Structure 1
Amino acid sequence: MKTRWSKYSLAASVALLLSACATGPVIDTSYVSQNQDSRALFLVLHYTVIDFEKSLRVLTTGGQVSSHYLVRDEPPTIYRLVDENRRSWHAGASSWTGHTNLNASSIGIEIVNAGYVDGPNGRVYAPYPQKQIDQVIALCKDIIARHKIRPERVIGHADIAPGRKQDPGPMFPWKQLADAGVIPWPDEAKLDAKRAEYAAKELPPAEWFQERLAKVGYALPKSGEIDTATKETLATFQMKYRPSDFAGKPDSETAALLDVVTSPGGMVLKGEADQPPRPYTSRW
C-alpha cells in the first residue's frame, strides 16, 4: 500500500511540475517603469515593383521578405501582414544616422507600385494614385502617433540603402507627407536665400558634400572624391527633395538644399491646418 501511494504522490508531483512549466512563472505587473519607449524607432517606406497579387504572395509566403503593412493601389486598401510587435524582413542591409540593421527597430510599409521600366527614352517611374497616397499618409500618422516616431525618422528604403535601393522612387510625393505634418521640409525662404548664395560662388569640394550627406543620416565614407557611393547618395537625396533632377551630380541647388536641411532651423514641420509651420530641429 505504501508503495502504491508513493507512486501516486510521485505522479502528482510530476503533473504539478509539468503544469507549472506549461503555464510559466507568475509575474506581477503592478509596477511600470517610466524609462522606456517603443522598439519601433523608424518608419520605412517601400514600393513593391509588382502588382498586388504578386506582392501579397511574395510578402506572405516563403520569399524571405515581408513588411508590417501593404498598401494596395486599386482599390486603395491597407493590409497588416506582420504584427508591429514582431520584426518584419523589409530593410535588409541598412543604416541611418548610425543605426544599422533597421529590421530590428523599424516598421515597414510596402506600397503597391510598378517601380520603373527602362525604355528607349530612359528610365520611367510609375506614378502613385492620390487615393493610395491618402491611405499611406493616414497609416503613417497612426503609426507615428502610437510609437512616437520622430519626423526625421520617417524615411524611404533608398535612404537606408542608397544605390542598392531606389524605392519609393522620385514619383513618391514626399512633399505631400510634409504638408500633412508627417515629415519636416526645407524652409522655402531659407532655401531661396541659399540658392542665390551658392549660385554666386564656387561649388563646395567633395568633402563638404560627403560631410553634409552624412549629417543628414546617410552612411557614406569620406573619400574626398565624387565617387560612385557619393553619386548614388546624392541621387537618393535629390530624389526626395528635388525629384525633377536626380542625376547624382553635385550642383549649387543641391548644395543649397544640403545646407538648409542640415542647419538649425532650416527644416519646418507643419502642425494642424490652422497652425503655421514651425522650425524643426532634428534630435538625431
Structure 2
Amino acid sequence: MKKNLLISTASVLLMSACASAPRTPTAPPPTIDKTYTSLNQDSRAQFLILHYTVLNFEKSLKVLTTGGQVSSHYLVRDEPPISYYIVDENRRAWHAGNSSWGNSQNLNAGSIGIEIVNPGFVDTPSGRVYAPFPQKQIDEVIKLVRDIQTRHQIKPERIIGHADIAPGRKQDPGPLFPWKQLADAGLIPWPDSAQVAARRPLYETLPPDAAWFQDKLARFGYSVPRHGELDQATKDVVSTFQMKYRPSDYSGVLDAETAALLDVANTPGGMLLAKSPFPAPPVKAGGSKF
C-alpha cells in the first residue's frame, strides 16, 4: 500500500512538472516584402556540363537518385530519349567533382549537369573503343541544352564536357559525342575551318614546342602544366581538346592540325557561333559587369 502511494505521488509530481515546464520559444518569422527586384543579378548557373553515365538507364537512375554520392540535374535516357529532371536547378548537384575551367574552380556550385545514358568505353587488345550515341538521344540533348541555355543565359563557350574540366581524370562524354552538331545548332562556338586550313601549313613547317601548347591550352580554359615539358598530364589535356575538335585522332600528339585549331581557338573572331534556328530571347538588363 505504501509502495503504491509513493508511485502514485511520484507520477503526480512528474505530470505536474511537465505541465508547468516552460515551452521552448519559437523564433518569429521575418517580415519579408517582395515588392522590389534588383536589376543587378544573373543566374547562379554559369556553366552547363555534359557527361555520360557508363551504365544503362536503370542503373544510372539508381546511382544518381540514391546513396551513390553522385547526382546531376538531368538524366537523358537512350531509349526512349527522355530527359529526367532529378535535381532542382536551384540546388547543387554532385556531378563535376574536382574541376576547373579558366579562373573557376570546383564547378558544382555554379553549373547545371546533364548525364547522358551511354556505356562509355571498353579497352580491347586493339585499343579503346567508345560506344556511339543514338541520334534521337542527341536530338533530345540538343533540345535540353537549348532550353537550359536560353533560361539561364549561359555563355556558349561555357557549355563544356566533364573531360574539359577534369582532363585525364575524366573522358566523358568522349570522342563519339557529336559536339559539332551542337555547334551547327548555334549552341557552342567552333573553330573557323578556313582559318585552321590557312594556318596549318605554318605549323607543319615550324612545329610549336610543348610550352606553346601549354600556353594556348591554358588561355583557352584548360588546367594544364606550364613547365614546358611534354609529360602525361599535358598529353591528357591535348587529347581532351582533340576529342572535341578533332575526334578522328585524339592521340595527344602535338601535330600541326591541333596547333592550328588551338591558335584559331585563341584568336579573336576565330571561334564562330552559327546562327540559331530559333529567335534569341530578350536580354535582361543589369547583368554583372565583372
TM-score surpassing 0.5? yes
SS state at 2:84 partner: strand
| Separation of aligned partners in 2, 1:230 and 1:221 | 6
- The letter for the 1-side match of 2:244 is K
Q: Number of residues paired by the alignment?
A: 261
Q: 2:254 aligns with which of 245, 250, 254?
A: 250
Distance 1:57 1:274, change over 3 A: closer
> Do residues 36 (structure 1) and 41 (structure 2) align?
yes
Q: 1:96 aligns with which of 97, 101, 109?
A: 101
Moved over 4 A (4+): none
| Separation of aligned partners in 2, 1:204 and 1:188 | 20
The equivalent residue for 1:114 is 119
Q: 2:271 aligns with which of 263, 267, 271?
A: 267
Q: 1:82 aligns with which of 80, 87, 93?
A: 87
The equivalent residue for 2:221 is 217
TM-score, reference length from structure 1: 0.88
Tell me the C-alpha RMSD between the 2 structures. 1.9
State which structure, 1 or 2, has the greater radius of gyration over its C-alpha atoms: 2
| Separation of aligned partners in 2, 1:107 and 1:145 | 13
The equivalent residue for 1:161 is 166
TM-score, reference length from structure 2: 0.87
Query: Any stretches of 5+ residues in structure 1 without a counterpart?
Result: 1-10, 276-282
Residue pairs, 1:26-65, within 5 angstroms = 26-65=31-70
| Separation of aligned partners in 2, 1:196 and 1:145 | 39
Shift of 1:197: 2.3
Task: Deviation per CA, 1:238-273: give whole Å up to 9, x if none.
Answer: 000000100111010000000001100101101134
The 8 Å contact of residues 187 and 276 in structure 2, kept in 1 or not, is answered as no
The 8 Å contact of residues 98 and 219 in structure 1, kept in 2 or not, is answered as no
| Separation of aligned partners in 2, 1:177 and 1:112 | 18
| Separation of aligned partners in 1, 2:226 and 2:211 | 6
- The letter for the 1-side match of 2:202 is E
- The letter for the 2-side match of 1:243 is P
The equivalent residue for 2:176 is 171
Shift of 1:77: 0.6
SS state at 1:110 partner: strand
Distance 1:58 1:30, change over 3 A: same
